[in-house]
Structure 1
Amino acid sequence: MADIDRVADQALDTGLTVAVAESLTCGLLASTIGKAHDAGTWFAGGVIAYQTPTKESVLGLAEGTDPVSPESAEQLARGVRTLMDADVAVSVTGVGGPGSEGGHDAGTVYVGWCADGTTGNRLLTLSGEPEEILEASVEAAVAALLDLTSR
C-alpha cells in the first residue's frame, strides 16, 4: 500500500504522531501502519475496541451512541488521539458482513478523524465479501491519514 509510505514520509517530515482506533477491521489498520518505514518513530499506537462497552470505557464513546454512526467514528478518533497523546488520529467503525448488524447493512463503514481539535467523518458504502470490505476500510483510513498529515 503505497499511501502508507507517503503517510510515513509526511509524518516524519512534520514530526506528527499518529494513532488509530478500530472496530470492524480488528487490528488490520494498525498492522498496515506498523509495516510502514520508521513506524516506531511516528505511530503512537492503536486501540482495537470491538465491543461497545470497550469503546465506552477505553475510548470515551458516549453511552447510548450507535456504534455504527458518524458520532461514534468521531468520538473514537478523539478518544484515541487523547489516550495516545497523538497529533492526528483516525478511526474505523461499521459492519464488515456478511450480514447486517444493528439495523446497518454490511458495508456500512464510517472513517472518523481528529486533528487540531477538530473532528470529521466519512461514510463508506462498500460491497463485497467481508475481507474486501475490511481492506477497503483500511485503504480509506490510510487515505484520511494521508490527508491529515499533509495539512
Structure 2
Amino acid sequence: MNARLVADLATAHGYTVAVAESLTGGTLSAELAAVEGSSDWFAGGLVAYQTATKVAVLGVPAGCPVISAQCVSTMASSLADLLSADAVVSVSGAGGPAGQDGEPPGTTWFATLVRGRARAERRHFPGTPEEVLAAARACALRLLAEEMA
C-alpha cells in the first residue's frame, strides 16, 4: 500500500525516487520495484549493510555511529547525488536480537530528502528481527510518502 502511494506521488509530482538501505537489506528497493510502472520513477537503491560500505560508497564519516541521524542523513544526501534523485529515504538500525553501537535492538533511524527538504527521525520497533525489519520498511515508505505529498 505505501509503495503504491509513493508511486502515485512520484508520478503526480515528477519525482525520481531512490533508497539507501542498511537494516532493510534491499527489501525497500524490492517493494518499490514491484509496483507497476516503477521504471518510470524509481532510480534504484543501494544496500550499504556494512559500516565500511557506508563510509566508502556513501561518504558516512569514519567513526560516525551507524545508528544515528548523521549517518542516515549522509546516506540520503549522498545517494541523491549519486542517482540524481528528487526523493530519497535512508534507513539504518539494529534489527536484533542484539543491539549495536550502544543502541537496543529495534532502534532505527530514518532520513528523507525530498527536493532539498531534509528530515531525520528515530524510532524503536519491538519484536523479532523479522518484525523489526517489516516495521522499518513500512515506516520508511510512510515517511517518504509524507514528505513527497
TM-score calculated relative to the size of structure 2: 0.96
Distance 1:63 1:119 in 2: 22
Structure 1 residues not aligned, in runs of 5+: none
Following TM superposition, the consecutive aligned residue runs of length 4 or more in structure 1 with deviations greater than 4 angstroms are none
| C-alpha distance after superposition, 1:36-65 (max 9, x if no partner) | 121111000010001111111111111221
The root-mean-square deviation of aligned C-alpha atoms, in Å, is 1.0
1:48 partnered with 2:43: no
Match of 2:66 in 1: 67
Q: Point out the more displaced range, 124-133 or 54-63.
A: 54-63
Give the deviation of 1:73 after TM superposition: 1.1
- CA deviation vs aligned residue, 1:117-151 (integer Å, no higher than 9, x gap): 2322111111000000000000011001211221x
After superposition, the C-alpha distances for 1:83-129 in whole angstroms (9 at most, x for unaligned) are: 11000100010100011122111000011111222322111111000
Q: Who is 1:78 aligned against?
A: 77
Range with bigger deviation, 104-113 or 57-66:
57-66
Look up the match of 1:119: 118
Report SS of the residue matched to 1:106.
coil
- 2: CA distance between counterparts of 1:123 and 1:79? 20
2:95 corresponds to: 96
Give secondary structure in 1 for the equivalent of 2:102: coil
TM-score after normalising by structure 1 = 0.95
Note the C-alpha offset of 1:6.
Answer: 1.4
Query: Helix, strand or coil: the match of 2:96?
Result: coil
Greater alpha carbon shift after TM alignment, 113-122 vs 18-27: 113-122
